[in-house]
Amino acid sequence: MRKPLDCLLTLVCHQSMEELLVSLLLEHPELVSGFSVRHIEGGSQKEILHSMLEQVRGRSRRVELCSVMNLEDAHELIAHLKATASNPEVAYWITPVIEFGRLA
């Protein structure tokens, strides 16, 4: 029986962490069946602006990774990421998914 895909896990990090997080997601196909990557910009009071350009602009280039997945798997993945890639600049949130499907 397939687990329900009942949540959306969103991770946001500085662009310098993109490859590490993508690699960690790819290492766990039992938890993550697919994901999307978007390049965004953002800023917060707690954010470290790494470069002079970021400091002048007041924001940094970030990466948003999203995966529709099972809620229990999302919690397991977050625990794994905290153990292997702990970083205060990586934010995450989990939102409910009412329905997920494909058009064909």
Contact 46, 9 (CB under 8 A): no
Which pTM was predicted? 0.86
Q: Which domain holds residue 47?
A: 7-96
Residue 2 lies in a domain: no
Is residue 102 in a domain?
A: no
Q: Is 103 a member of any domain?
A: no
In a domain, 1, yes or no: no
Assigned domain for 36 exists: yes
> What count of other Cβ atoms lies within 10 Å of the Cβ of residue 74?
20
How many domains would you assign to the chain? 1
Residue 104 covered by a domain: no
pLDDT band at 38 (very low <50, low <70, confident <90, very high): very high
Mean pLDDT in residue range 41-60: 69
Asked if residue 1 has pLDDT above 90, the reply is: no
pLDDT in tens, 52-81: 776 667 777 899 999 999 999 999 999 999
Q: Is residue 27 part of a domain?
A: yes
Q: How far apart are CA 71 and CA 65, in angstroms?
A: 16
Coil, helix or strand at residue 18: helix
- Looking at residue 19, which CATH number applies to its domain? 3.30.70.120
Predicted local distance difference test score (pLDDT) of residue 65:
98
